[in-house]
Amino acid sequence: MSRFSRHALVLALLLTSTSALAGAQWVQARTVLNTCGYFSNAQAEITLTYRNDDLPWGTRVFLIYGWGGSSGPSSAFDWAPAPQTVEVRAVAPYHWGTTVTGIIRARSSTQYSSINYVWKVVLPDGHEFYEKGNDSTWGYYAADFSQVPTPCTNTAGSFIGTPTPLTITTVVKN
């Protein structure tokens, strides 16, 4: 075996072994304006799905999330109003999913533009880890829904239209 082929084999094994450990995820959103007349508030419905084929049966998954946005041009925030934790149910083998809703805009109030979140994974033996896309201390995922169409409806809490897939970014915070 040549030196080059040996290095290529080691690289291939490394990529194969580390890619199998990572989880995959999807986030979709629908937003709606809760009146077709005078503006009152806008609401979002966010569906999040997590998949990790390497987790053993009996694993529990939790979503820790908050809203990102601003209350003015120079006042951005990450976890408003406070981080929420929900247990995520299994929707298929090695897949967990949940849907969260919230008011994202109200007259003379804060405007949210993203959902910021971390997956907390608890293994059957009690060991836990946080899936956040990076190794920073306080890092997290962010999915921006600011460009999702917002149709109006006169039925509060009634979401219409097809969910829009969101781009997920990882935020590094130490």
In a domain, 46, yes or no: yes
Identify the residue whose tokens are 């299994």: 90
In a domain, 15, yes or no: no
Alpha-carbon torsion, ordered 25, 26, 32, 34, to 10 deg:
-30
In a domain, 14, yes or no: no
The whole-model pTM stands at 0.83
What pLDDT, on a 0 to 100 scale, did the predictor assign at position 22? 64
Q: Are the C-beta atoms of 36 and 44 separated by less than 8 Å?
A: no
Distance separating the N- and C-terminal Cα atoms of the chain: 44
- Six-digit token pair at 110? 């804060």
In a domain, 120, yes or no: yes
Work out how many domains the chain is built from and give that number. 1
What's the rounded Cα separation, in Å, for the pair 7 and 107?
60
What's the rounded Cα separation, in Å, for the pair 70 and 68?
7
Query: Residue 74: pLDDT band by 50, 70, 90 thresholds?
Result: low
Q: Return the sign of the alpha-carbon dihedral for residues 41, 145, 112, 73.
A: negative
Q: Could you report the per-residue pLDDT of 104-159, keeping only the tens digit for each?
A: 988 777 889 999 999 999 999 999 999 998 988 999 999 999 999 989 888 766 89
Task: Provide the residue range defining the domain that includes 130.
Answer: 21-171
What pLDDT, on a 0 to 100 scale, did the predictor assign at position 56? 95
In a domain, 90, yes or no: yes
Choose the weakest-confidence range: 68-82, 91-105, 139-153, 159-173: 68-82
In a domain, 12, yes or no: no
What pLDDT, on a 0 to 100 scale, did the predictor assign at position 97? 98
In a domain, 139, yes or no: yes
What pLDDT, on a 0 to 100 scale, did the predictor assign at position 147? 94
